[in-house]
Structure 1
């Protein structure tokens, strides 16, 4: 997959980027999972997680960031310091979500799974576009912005299953931000599970993977 983007550097640096796919074709799938990769990673790499899932009729989609980076600075930096890349990245996820909806897959059968920078982006997108989704998995990430950022999001997650997993020795993600994200998504009526793993740095462990597998299988089993 090419990372080169002729739009990079303008007001929408992620415009025209590709979306990698796997699983059932979107036109015949009943459930969709949107994977959001981390800084320096690839969409294709995130799709490898889908090999762990046994759910049927699931379409997997993974947008690719320009230059493998959704925004240039830390997710804890002032919002304006990550513009226009951050807004462009959120718009990109919105286009992917609309593509899924246009295929006839409702929000409550659509899951978002993000790792690291992708987890930050996925949690921010879901908070800003709150409705009843199939699920949200935030693996080593949290809501975007410096301490004290207003979290006056609208809408309701209406019981959306949310999983937050992070290590207590993660050099990039303060545990306090994971807690804040938990509280904000809970206030938006999410059904939130948080797991902080003692001694773990930046990564995904087997228990987190099982949570994600169960989340997707539950979404796929909705009557």
Structure 2
């Protein structure tokens, strides 16, 4: 079992839950610090801690077997959290995913492999996982779930081409997708991304 940190509203009182997934080398404190900038009042915040601060050892576009068993274990971690939340009475529409970098990739991959009307999926610099983009892995209907992609046009870890393929896949499966691509080359979360997410998904 991984460690999980909780912040915000108690689960017993919250109407919405955000599963916040940190990036490679990060931790629960780093991703939870985002809460100070996002409209998460009233949310319960659930942040799992990756073993050794990484969800899988290599690039999200490395040969799939290179990232096993860590990748599968990380997907099971998210699934365990979701199933626990549903057992406590939360519907998928009350569950949001917020991830940065490696955490954004994992959030996207999990939500796409379990497509339904989530409350929202917010991916700060991320794309669907796999050495090759493989749309056959994904089925189901997002039923209008809002999904956000934000990144540099030339990020050092996440190629724009994979972001575009991922966004198109989510749209094909019925998500309401917004993509913001910036002209810098920074691996970061920008104020414009925060503002858009606050105004349109976390409003």
Q: TM-score, normalised to structure 2's length?
A: 0.95
Partner of 1:105: 90
Structure number with bigger Rg: 1
- 1:140 and 1:95 mapped to 2: Cα distance? 24
| Alignment pair present for 1:80 and 2:65 | yes
Partner of 2:34: 49
Partner of 1:32: 17
How far is 1:44 from its partner? 1.5
Moved over 6 A (4+): none
In structure 2, stretches of 5+ residues that fail to align are none
Number of equivalent positions: 203
SS of aligned partner of 2:202: helix
How far is 1:154 from its partner? 1.6
**Retained in 2: the 8 A contact 1:33–1:216?**
no
**Retained in 2: the 8 A contact 1:135–1:215?**
no
- 2:159 and 2:40 mapped to 1: Cα distance? 33
Partner of 2:125: 140
How far is 1:175 from its partner? 0.3
How far is 1:150 from its partner? 4.1
How far is 1:148 from its partner? 4.3
In structure 1, stretches of 5+ residues that fail to align are 1-15, 219-223
- 1:72 and 1:55 mapped to 2: Cα distance? 31
Cα RMSD for the two superposed structures: 1.4
